[in-house]
Every structure is written in C-alpha cells, then in structure tokens.
Structure 1
C-alpha cells in the first residue's frame, strides 16, 4: 500500500495484478514444451533477446517497433494472441507514437529520391556542357571542312573523297551513349536470382543463398539499398518488413508488409514467387 492511498484505491488497480509480458510468454513457452533454443530457431529471434524479453527487459530489442515485432513473433510461436500483449506493451511504455508525424515522414521519403534542386542544377550543368561541346565541335568541324575543301580543289578528286567521310564517322560515336534510368533494374541476368532491397526506415535483414550460407546479416538504415544474387535461390528474413521495398528478378513485389512484422521469404529464378 502506498502512502496517501486508501485500501480501496489499491484494490481498484487490476493492472497491478496482471502478469508481465515476459512472464506470460515464458509460461506459455513452458506449457507448450518448448525450450528457448527451439523458440529462437523457429522465430529467428536471437537467444539473448528471447531471454531478455522473458525477463521483461526490452532494451535489447533496439526500439519500440522491434519490441512489438518480437512480442508478436514470440506470441505466435507459443500459441498466444499477440494483440493483447502488444496492447499491454503500449500501455506500459507510453502507447504507440502519434500517427500525425508519419505523413510528413513518408511524404519526405517520397520526395527524397527526386530532389528538385540537385536535379535542376545537374540539368543546367549538363546543358551548359552540351552547348559548349556542340559549339566547339561545330567550330572544329567547320575549320576541318574548310581546310579539306581547299585541298580537294587543288588535288585529285578521288583521293580526297576517301577522307571526306571521316568527320561523319565521328558523330555516331558520340550519340549512342546510354542514359541511365530506373528501368535498368529490369535488365537483371536471367540465369540468376536477383533481389534488391530498399529501406524506407531502419530494418534488420538476413540473406542466405541456396547452399544455406549467410550472404548478409545486419541492419539496413533509412535510405540504404542492397542487391543480392545467387545461382538458384535466395532466402530472406525481414525483421521490420513494413518499410522495405522489394524487387525480385526485375519486378517489384507489391505485397504490403506490416510495420514491425517479421517476414520469411524465398525466391528462385523466373517470376517472383514467395517461397
């Protein structure tokens, strides 16, 4: 009983009698006959984090988003409804963040890949360089043609006709330079599996090849882009799947992943199909 509170106030605090999140998960795991190692293996949540969550220590999760995702994953693994535990976590940790800042954030993310000022600056510089190059090339070609014209009038016509095509041969060499574009992602090799990940927010990912060996295991920060290839198959685990944009074999995956959700995906050669 706290000082200044009546016995009725203490009896009217049902939240104090509610078991903690970690204790509920631990008891459900034991009742299901599972060890911490087995839960970690089935959920891909590391053993130290499973232990910490069962002791109600969420500091090792890396933030509220990851903590909610781990609670959902562990609850499903031991046969519990994750919604009640996530609500309890929100109630004990100040609730979910206000949704209003999310709109400016995602709007900024949509604008970020196409910043106007750098693009206009680059366009102006490119235009100036093109104009200067064209003027210089025109002047050089004009001088060359005038000099060639004088020699043609004085010398034999057949010998000079062989040299006249030289300026025209140089023009096609400068024109066919490829212009990079976002559609170049479609040019992935057909004999490999190509997976591209773009993170709109921080997310932990794990990537393995067809032989089961790890290709990448770590965090993608906001704005990071990673490309992975394998001869046969790529397996993915997305620790926070919501902010991840995914391309497989040159095609964007349109599945909508939940924020904080853990997704396990597998892709092989051909059209993208979740494994």
Structure 2
C-alpha cells in the first residue's frame, strides 16, 4: 500500500474481483455465461471494468449481482463499490410525497369488512377440507398397518425333549455406513460432496438433459440418478468427494482443473 492512500484505494476493482472469484471457482467465461445467461462479450467487458455494454446503471447493477452469486461472492460490497466508482446510486425518495395522498383524503379509511368476511369463509372451508382429507388418509394408513397384526403368530414346534424348539429368525440387513450404499442395481447413482472447498458442477442424464448446474458450496451435497448414465463436469475436482453406485471414487484430480466424467450402471470404473 502506498503512503497516503486509504485501504479502499488498493482494493481490486469490481471487474477484477469478479474475475479472480471466477478463476478461483474453476469456471470459464463460457460456463459463467451459461449459468447466468449474461452474454459472453458482456462478461468479458465487466471483468475489464467496462460497463458501457450493460445499457445503463440498472442493468449494470443487475449483471454484477448475478455474476457475483454465480462465482460465490457477496454482491452487496461490489454494488456499493460500483456506486462509489461509477455513480448510479438511486437517490432516496423523500418521505413526504409517499404520504401526500393520505393527507388529502377527506375521511379516514374504513376497514373492508367484506374482504375480511370472504377471507374468513375461505379459511374455514380450507380448514374443514384439510381435516377431512387428513382424517381419511390417517384412516387408510391405520387400516393398512392393522392388517399384519390380524395374523396370529405360529406356535413354536415342540422338541423331542418337550421344550419348544427355537426357529431361526430371518437375518436382518446390516445398516449401511453410507447413505447411498443400498443403491438400486438397475440404475446409476452419483453423489457429490464439496468436501475441501466449493466447486462449479454440471450434471446431465443419458439423453443430454441438464439435471442441475451451478456452484456447490463447501459442505453441500448433491445426488443424481439415471437409468443408464450420468455425465458430470466439475470445475474444481480436487475439492469433491464422489460416490458412484455406493462406492467412493478416489483421485478425481488436482484442485482447480476442470474434469469431465461419465458413469454407468456397471461403474465404478475410470470415468
């Protein structure tokens, strides 16, 4: 920091902050444009602090807010910095004109009893309908749950010595350590967890349909299932813990590089 300058003078510009956050998230300009629907030339211009392509302060603030959320930044400080550097801050609305219409009314506003009565009737009808529906559902559940109890348990057979023989009980499945360990064999199931940092991710099914894309923040998880194949794009693969069909995939890659992976029902294999 140079002598005589405030810390604000040395902080990066709005465009530079967005560019650094995008690179840290492992995203390209094309991927950010796909996420935000902001055209690629405008993304490039904003990262160079050229806001003339935005079409005005209102659109510029909207683009800054959208891009900041896509790369994991808080948009509020960036909007304040933009207003300080480029202007465009909305002037506060005087309080007096807001209440001008109230002062010129000849008489105070009376409560709308008709609207209140209609709202009360709607609430009563809704409550009665919910009660009837909920009571019917509970009756069905009770009858279904009661069916097994009607069957009488079989008496244990007598052993030759006169004591009742002990039949072998059906073995109970051991609980799984993983939430997706019991995945169906006829599908492919993929679970992502941003374990060591945030990452940008995209998931598509075997038809190429986009299931979800965006920034997966640290600690968050996503699970995807398809009948044939799941295609993944990971912006920061080294930060991701990946389970495919209930088994963990090791060594996805280093922190930073983009990885494109594809898994089917027969995996885990190298994607």
Greater RCO, CA 8 A, separation 6+: 2
TM (norm. structure 2) is 0.41
Query: Could you say which structure has the higher helix fraction?
Result: 1
TM-score, length of structure 1 as denominator length = 0.40
